[in-house]
Structure 1
Amino acid sequence: MASSRILVGVFGAPHGVRGELRLKAYTADPLAVKAYSPLESEDGKRRFTLTSARLQGDMVVARVDGIADRDAAAALTNLKLYVPRERLPQAADEDEFYQADLIGLRVENASGEELGTITAVHDFGAGDVLEIKLPASGTAYLPFTKAIVPTVEVSAGRVIADPPADWLDEGTPEDADAP
């Protein structure tokens, strides 16, 4: 199920006039993104070697080989950066996962009944949430917590979930007014 490439960052706006760029790193240590250089574009056709990286606030400011001015840096704004999966370390413990490893896994309950398939992992600010494509139609969201998703078996291609009883209840606007 694991993807052959992992998203590790995205170029932001230029920083200054000498070709430096802001870089939003998705690595645990933001400066570690430089160690994975060269980074690849989403289509895999372009490679970018980071020649320097420093932390400024929560953003990495990077210099890219061959990018010497603000206009060249601006042309890279919002470009997603990937690394081949084999160049990344294995997860440090059994409760760590690359998001790409979760995409495509079956979601089952404890009885083995299929609840859906993970299509995305989001963080809307309150922790990770799994986007689940339901077997019949539509999607639903499930908090990615140990209490709700106690078992992740990447090699078996599944997660076992214990969703709340009202997980798929949509309710109606009138329900909000009920005492």
Structure 2
Amino acid sequence: MANRVLVARIGAPHGVKGEVRLFIFTEEPHALLDLDPLTDESGRRRFRVASLRAAKDHFVARLEGVADRTAAEALTNVDLYVPREALPEPEDEDTFYHADLLGLPVLDEAGAVIGQVTALHDFGAGDILEYAPTLPGVKAKTLMVPFTRDAVPVVDVSGRRVVIAEAFVERRPAEPEDGEDQSEG
């Protein structure tokens, strides 16, 4: 799946004639009409968007070969992917695909490797970068930081690195120095 990019998710059926709600993750939604092949997560099932129209908070699509509500229901929550090479190259170094970040080393501002990017999420309040920490003493399997310029000032896909601002780096808890009183009160 590393060479594929998630571009849409099929939602519930729309009506009785096989149309589906479609949640699109591309900058230009109608570009989906030209992307071929679209595949499911396994890569075995292929899809083609025959028509697409905007709705309130999603799109309504007709997929080739899906003729009725029953067939549309069977596709609910199927993610649609395209091969990475089917997408145009980003126009500048500040533009990138989320898939290009997966697996990149995460560094602190001093240049020390502190983890590896595992995912990007959008829970509704803005993008979140998730990474697996490699710092000693950090017990979390993954950590999340806001994917903003303040928290992640450097995204260098060609240089293979993502930098997290020091204020957002979770460090090992400070250990008491020898001779310090650890009791309370």
Question: TM-score category by the smaller chain?
Answer: 0.7 to 0.9
Answer whether contact 2:108 2:169 (CA < 8 A) is retained.
no
> Distance in 2 between the 1:155 and 1:59 partners?
33
Residue among 157, 162, 169 paired with 2:160? 157
CA distance in 1, matches of 2:10, 2:103: 27
- Counterpart position of 2:11: 12
What pairs with 1:1-179 in structure 2 (closer than 5 Å)?
3-135=2-134, 136=136, 137-138=139-140, 139-164=142-167, 167-168=170-171
Q: Structure 1: state its 5+ residue gaps.
A: 171-179
Contact map agreement 1:31 1:55 (CA 8 A) in 2: no
Report the Cα offset of residue 147 of structure 1. 2.4
Deviation (angstroms), 1:166: 7.1
Q: Helix, strand or coil: the match of 2:90?
A: coil
TM-score computed with the length of structure 1 as normaliser = 0.86
Q: Percent identity?
A: 49
2-side partners of 1:21 and 1:166: how far apart?
42
Q: Which amino acid aligns with 1:164?
A: A
Query: What RMSD in Å do the two structures reach over aligned CA positions?
Result: 2.0
CA distance 1:129–1:165, shift in 2 (3 Å):
closer
Contact 2:93 2:156 in 1 (8 A): no
Give the Å deviation of 1:29: 2.3
TM-score by length of 2: 0.83
CA distance in 1 between counterparts of 2:52 and 2:168 reads: 47
Q: Output the amino acid matched with 2:8.
A: G
2:180 corresponds to which residue? none
Return the alpha-carbon distance in structure 2 between the equivalents of residues 90 and 19 of structure 1. Answer: 34
CA contact (8 A) 1:132 1:141 kept: yes
